[in-house]
Structures are given as C-alpha cells and as structure tokens.
Copies of this chain bind each other. A is one copy, B any other.
Amino acid sequence: MIDKRVASLREAIAGIKSGAAVMIGGFGSSGIPFELIEALRLHGADDLTVISNNAGSHEIGIATLLRDRLVRKVVCTYPRSQGSVWFEKLYEEGAIELELMPQGTFAERMRAAGAGLGGFFTPTGYGTKLAEGKETREIDGVGYVLEPPLKADVALIKAHKGDKWGNLAYNTAGRNFNPVMAMAADMTIAEVEHIVELGELDPESVATPGIFVDRVVAQEGIV
C-alpha cells in the first residue's frame, strides 16, 4: 500500500536535521509552503541552508527562519524583495552566507539534479561576475558557463491538490519552482490545500507525479 499522507505538519517535517539543505518552493507569495515553513521553524533544526528563489519578506515565511537565526546560508536569485528586512539585517551583520545565481540557472540546476545530469552549459551569466571562477567554453561562437546540479536533503513544496500517492496539481502560477524542487531533494514534503481521492486528479494535469513526493500533508490553517 502506498499512502504518503501524514496526519500533521509536525509529522510532515519530522526528521529534518540541523545543518540540512532545504529547498523551499514558491515565488513572491505564490506557491509558498507557509505552513511547512512555520512547522520547520518550530521544529528546532538550525544551521540550515535554505534554497529558495527569495529570502523572505516582512515577518512571514522564510523571513521567520532568518529572524530566529536558524539559517546559515541562503541560495537564491533575488534576496532583496520589498520588506526583506531580516535578510538585509543579517547580511549587513555578516551573519548569513549568500550564494546568488541567475533564476534560470537556479531552476535548471535543480532540474539537472532531479534528472541525474552531471551539469550543463548555459549562456546565462557568461562574461559576468556570476560566472567568475566557473568553467566556461565557447561553442559555435557563443560563450557558455558550466553549471553543476543543485540537490538538497529536503524540499518543502506547496501544491493545490494532492492524493495519497503524492500526485500533485497546482493552481495557476503557484507551480513555479515546486515541480523542479520535488525532483531534486532526497525527501520531498508537499503541503496541499486539498487532499483528494486517488483518481480525482486529471492524469493530464498532474504536474508533479507522485514518484517525486515522499509526504503529503493538508494545510492546518496555522499561518
């Protein structure tokens, strides 16, 4: 029997260790697993590496992990959103490490990890500061940068609907980084608005097949 549903957010994030690399889906406020993030904050693990497009803003989501000083390093593309005061404060203090990369490279590195590739040549960033120290190559007159896969121990993702096999469907632009992160982590935990019966999801619009998901939890309304 395959049943990936877990009964609570606490159970959903059980086992995440201090020092873990944690991918967190979402873009801006869209497709963010806010409840899993809150559960992670209460869970007690620290020294985390957070891999997410943004670095949180105001006093919600990833910003609360930063505020509580649970994060050692942020891997992202755009840490400086409006209201990203906690990131800015810690950065100024030198209390947080930042690995910055172009957004397409970020997504593609995670896809490469999920797809078992050893790396890829991208034209993005060639000739810029973000390619410094990286292997480059000219192919047919175009400059490319070699980028390695980007993996994580855990991915916290957010979907609209999920079933007990872990199949996920998203709402509009809430998809964003969630499907690639689901592929790229050793353990993928999905927060969903609705758990539905097996067979209820249209097999043509399952954007994350269950094989990539380890745990599915319904929102509890905690944030």
Query: A residues near B, CB below 8 A?
Result: 108, 112, 115-123, 137, 139, 142, 144, 148, 169-170, 172, 202-205, 207
Contacts and interface: CB of A to CB of B under 8 A. Distances in A.
B123 A121 contact: no
Contact of A204 (B112, B116, B119, B170): B170
Taken together, the copies of this chain in the complex come to: 2
Contacts of A112: 120
B118 A121 contact: yes
A169 B204 contact: yes
A116 B123 contact: yes
Contacts of A148: 139
A119 B119 CA distance: 9
Contacts of A205: 202, 204-205
A204 B173 CA distance: 9
Contacts of A203: 172
8 contacts: A118-B139, A118-B142, A120-B120, A120-B121, A172-B203, A172-B204, A204-B205, A205-B205
Nearest to A142: B118
A123 B113 CA distance: 12
A174 to B, nearest CB: 10
A118 B140 CA distance: 9
A203 B123 CA distance: 30
Contacts of A116: 122-123
A8 to B, nearest CB: 29
A91 B139 CA distance: 33
B118 A119 contact: no
A112 B137 CA distance: 16
B118 A144 contact: yes
A116 B170 CA distance: 26
Contacts of A172: 203-204
Contact of A115 (B108, B139, B170): B108
